[in-house]
Structure 1
Amino acid sequence: MIIKESSLKKGLPKETGSVCPECGKLIKAKIFEENGKVMIEKTCSDHGSFKDVYWSDVELYLKAERFAHDGIGVINPKIKAKKECPFECGLCDLHLSHTCLANVDLTNRCNMHCPICFANAAAAGYVYEPSYEQVVEMLKNLRSNRPVPTPAVQFSGGEPTIYPRFFDVIKKAKELGFAQVQVATNGLKLTELDFCQKMKDSGMNTVYLQFDGLNDEVYTQARGRKLLDVKMKAIENCRNVKPKPLSTVLVPTIVNGVNDDQIGEILNFAVKNSDVIRSVNYQPVSFTGRIDKEEREKGRFTLPDLVNRLESQTNFLKKEDFYPVPVVTPISELISILAGEPKVAFTAHPHCGLATFLYIDNGNAVPVTRFVDVEGMFSQMMRMAEKLGKAGFLVRLLGKMKSGKSKKKAIQKNFEKYFGKYIYEDKLPKGLNITELFENVFSDQSKESLGEFTWKTMMVG
């Protein structure tokens, strides 16, 4: 088993742990419903009480936690003696999930000075910039995790593209076996085509591009300067690298009253440029530490707010299209059992994110929920995984089959039998064969066909 039943407290109200935003002390917090919203309230003995919106839609909040699963953590944590979370980590034995995507900060230096900056880059008063050797040790640490070595790494900062040995760490990450190597960047260096090509040649898989809107007024407010031309040039260069485009994810930081009116427009732009843009990963602004209450309430933007804007600003998305990250854990469980070894499982907290997938059909975006019963299919996968987990002989037999006709035929027969009823054949986009896609996923038959499918899909969340 790669996943377990969730230990998360369900329903409302409930208590959880939190920290004082003034002093950082560990304190208790209460999560409860108020006027259709989910609120969080906590009290510090030294700094008083704090109350804020956690999720602006209680219905979505309760839906999300239905899909919670715990992972199995790591069996070789770096810190084995349990300490008081979250003041010591690295990973420790309290973790319920393994690392799916690791962020490695290459530097706190930056070539911009944004008014909005989660990393507080260039404001620390000192330079944090690990040596190449130190970065390599971090990467080796991640790949040494068991039972699932970390499969993906994202270099961040500061601005990681100004790190002196940027291309060397990309090459080393690929050498160490990371399937996905990513960079989170403001895009300034990506205005140089040669730089983009060198990233691609070094092994970069995906660019996470800061992209806050489609007019310079937004960039002036959020980033302190006009940047739209920079973003467009960066995207064009990622499109033009050889032999194939450099997969690009747009990352808009959303601030209420600043660019929340551009959420739909950003997605429409991404759909029109889906030959290079693979995803839009919206980031509701984070307020950390001390901040004026009025300013915090004015700028607060939660995940349900994002879903609401996407529904109202596009003509193809609805609230019910969105699910939390761990909804896909049954796929991990089933693949792990069929493979005979643990595979990556996305057992993130159910309130960490909401997303959906679009299938791009001739420039039109169709949510997968229109032609797949997502909840029904994943529930069936979980039941099948549990059944196969008990039928050891069948699993071993399937695992011993060579990747070929015998294995594919067995999977095809069972897929159609158990999952066919969850696919709405009459609503499938032309040319899309879901049955064949899942056959390839579970039998590892064709990376090429899977790649072709993923270039026609787009994650939004």
Structure 2
Amino acid sequence: MPNNRPYLFYELTNSICSTCYTKIEAKIIIENDCVYMVKRCFKHGMEKVLISNDAAYYKQCREFSKPSEMPLVWNTPVKYGCPYDCGLCPDHEQHSCLTIVEVTDACNLQCPICYAEASPARQTWRSLDEIEYMLDCVVRNEGTPDIVQISGGEPTLHPQFFEILDLAKTKPIRHLMVNTNGIRIAQDREFVRRLSSYLPGFELYLQFDSFEKNTLMELRGADLRDIRKKAIEHLNEFNISTTLVVTLKKGLNDHEVGEIIQYGLKQRAVRGVTFQPIQIAGRLEQFDPVQDRLTLGEVRRMIIDQSGVFNEEDIIPVPCHPDCLAMGYALKMGEQVTPLTGMIDPEILLEGGRNTIVFEQDETLKAKVFQLFSLNHSPASSFSSLKELLCCLPKVMLPKSLGYDHVFRVLIMQFLDPYNFDVRSVKKSCVHIVHPDGRIIPFDTYNMFYRDDKEEQLQEMREQMEIQRG
């Protein structure tokens, strides 16, 4: 009688040891409809990490990969292999859909989960010359960058904040975004009025984790409920395009997914919600890579089960990085909210037991869907792409008053950490950050290897590789 393993071996990749960060081989296995990464370090033993709780969706992601789009230039040579050559090196497989420029390490919060370890104690401000150099490096790589996000720390604290926005607006950037905790937005109406002068092509990425005091205290170290309420009032008043950004921690605020979506749908300025399961980086406390991990598949299921808007077929992988990004669109017309597939005849787009979108029937349709479900969209460009897609389908009747403020997007953005790190996946990363020296580095690897003094430790690993090579 055969002695079968209790799992299905699915594929092989490379990962890193979560203790010493040495690159090691990793098996991807499927067991009880869950996907795990199994890896073994010679020094630190075996690790089994939960990757997905939905094996069918994990497999479906492979069907959504599109040909890689390259940057105009490469910034570093291939010498030690991924992830030790960032970046971007010629072995990377995706240009920058969204590029982050950090302008300060200072913050008016000290969040227990901060990946950047920003705090009021850190008072580093990048000069305008340094910021212009970083912006020019993005333009060097992208020509006309899709989205540039001004971040920190808390960027609104920078003493030259509006000069930074003015500078960014002189560059050929399609869409400018500011990542903020919302404190200044809430406390300074005149500040918000001035922000509105940068419209269109401008958006706020507003931290919005919970409606509950205890949750906010655990994630942010402060009760921000009144701050969030006042910030949204000011943003609604000036109709500044806003994405609510929810950092999700398993068992803490994941029951609020649907409530936050419903809240966003009722706000004039809110164009969508982005859900980010916590990344194990920065000052985050110890965590169990199986029991405590919140996977993209779980978040997707929460959106479907809790929102009352999106169905199974509405949340699909983002083709530029399908392992780590999933997206869904809806149209909000007054009180009526219709998901994307509600606007499209299922016989045209869908088939099969899991309602997989079929692109092969129509290459034009395939291109339009890939264009819409990409990360490099502002609210306005999302509307344009959605309208182009729907216009390809003669059975769809578009409302005459349809505008970009009627498009609502949910996005799941999962970042890799030392536990679930997958070299195959990180090569497709399209969310990048500008190093002060001008390198463009994937966000995942930046927080593990290149932030602050971490590259000193990486250099020691490189030196060991040189010794081993002889």
Q: Which runs of 5+ in 2 are unaligned?
A: 1-7, 351-356, 368-387, 412-470
In the alignment, does 2:342 pair up with 1:367?
no
Query: 1:237 pairs with 230, 234, 237, which one?
Result: 234
Q: What is the number of equivalent residue pairs in this alignment?
A: 373
Query: 1:257 pairs with 251, 254, 267, which one?
Result: 251
Q: Measured at CA, do residues 290 and 135 of structure 1 come closer, stay the same or move farther in structure 2, by a change above 3 Å?
A: closer
Deviations 1:306-332 (A, max 9, x none): 122122223232222111111xxxxxx
Instruction: Say if 1:143 and 1:151, in contact at 8 Å, map to a contact too.
Output: no
Deviations 1:250-287 (A, max 9, x none): 001111111111110000101111x2100100111122
Amino acid corresponding to residue 193 of structure 2 in structure 1: Q
Q: Which residue of 2 aligns with 1:432?
A: 399
Q: Which residue of 1 aligns with 2:135?
A: 139
**Greater alpha carbon shift after TM alignment, 80-89 vs 165-174:** 80-89
In the alignment, does 2:14 pair up with 1:42?
no
Q: Which residue of 2 aligns with 1:392?
A: none
Instruction: Say if 1:21 and 1:288, in contact at 8 Å, map to a contact too.
Output: no
Instruction: Say if 2:26 and 2:38, in contact at 8 Å, map to a contact too.
Output: yes
Measured in 2, the distance between the counterparts of 1:253 and 1:31 equals 26
Instruction: Say if 1:56 and 1:305, in contact at 8 Å, map to a contact too.
Output: yes
Q: Measured at CA, do residues 180 and 86 of structure 1 come closer, stay the same or move farther in structure 2, by a change above 3 Å?
A: same
Deviations 1:113-150 (A, max 9, x none): 11222222239x8655332111101111111225x532
Query: 1:213 pairs with 204, 210, 213, which one?
Result: 210
Instruction: Say if 1:74 and 1:93, in contact at 8 Å, map to a contact too.
Output: no
- Report the TM-score when normalising by structure 2: 0.73
Deviations 1:132-184 (A, max 9, x none): 111101111111225x5322100112111112221111111111121111111
Query: 1:287 pairs with 277, 280, 295, which one?
Result: 280
Q: Which residue of 2 aligns with 1:442?
A: none
Measured in 1, the distance between the counterparts of 2:196 and 2:71 equals 32
Amino acid corresponding to residue 278 of structure 1 in structure 2: R
TM-superposed deviation, 1:233: 0.8
What do you get for the CA RMSD once the two structures are aligned?
A: 2.8
Measured in 1, the distance between the counterparts of 2:316 and 2:326 equals 5
More helix per residue: 1 or 2?
1
Q: Which residue of 2 aligns with 1:382?
A: 363
Q: Which residue of 1 aligns with 2:3?
A: none
Query: 2:59 pairs with 52, 62, 80, which one?
Result: 62
In the alignment, does 2:327 pair up with 1:355?
yes
Instruction: Say if 2:116 and 2:282, in contact at 8 Å, map to a contact too.
Output: no
Instruction: Say if 2:106 and 2:124, in contact at 8 Å, map to a contact too.
Output: yes
Q: Which residue of 2 aligns with 1:420?
A: 393
Amino acid corresponding to residue 192 of structure 2 in structure 1: C
Amino acid corresponding to residue 155 of structure 2 in structure 1: P
% same residue: 30
Q: Measured at CA, do residues 187 and 45 of structure 1 come closer, stay the same or move farther in structure 2, by a change above 3 Å?
A: same
Measured in 2, the distance between the counterparts of 1:127 and 1:60 equals 44
Measured in 2, the distance between the counterparts of 1:154 and 1:184 equals 7
Q: Secondary structure at the match of 1:197?
A: helix
Amino acid corresponding to residue 87 of structure 2 in structure 1: G
Matches within 5 A, 1:60-459: 60-122=57-119, 128-145=124-141, 148-191=143-186, 192-202=188-198, 205-241=202-238, 245-273=239-267, 275-288=268-281, 295-326=288-319, 347=320, 349-372=321-344, 373=346, 374=349, 378-379=359-360, 382=363, 419-420=392-393, 423=395, 425=396, 432=399, 452-459=402-409
- Report the TM-score when normalising by structure 1: 0.74
Amino acid corresponding to residue 128 of structure 2 in structure 1: Y
Measured in 2, the distance between the counterparts of 1:234 and 1:15 equals 47
Q: Secondary structure at the match of 2:38?
A: strand
Instruction: Say if 1:206 and 1:247, in contact at 8 Å, map to a contact too.
Output: yes
Deviations 1:17-41 (A, max 9, x none): 2122112222221111111011111
Q: Which residue of 2 aligns with 1:3?
A: none
Instruction: Say if 2:52 and 2:296, in contact at 8 Å, map to a contact too.
Output: yes
TM-superposed deviation, 1:63: 1.2
Q: Secondary structure at the match of 1:69?
A: coil
Q: Which residue of 1 aligns with 2:50?
A: 53
TM-superposed deviation, 1:371: 2.1
TM-superposed deviation, 1:291: 7.9
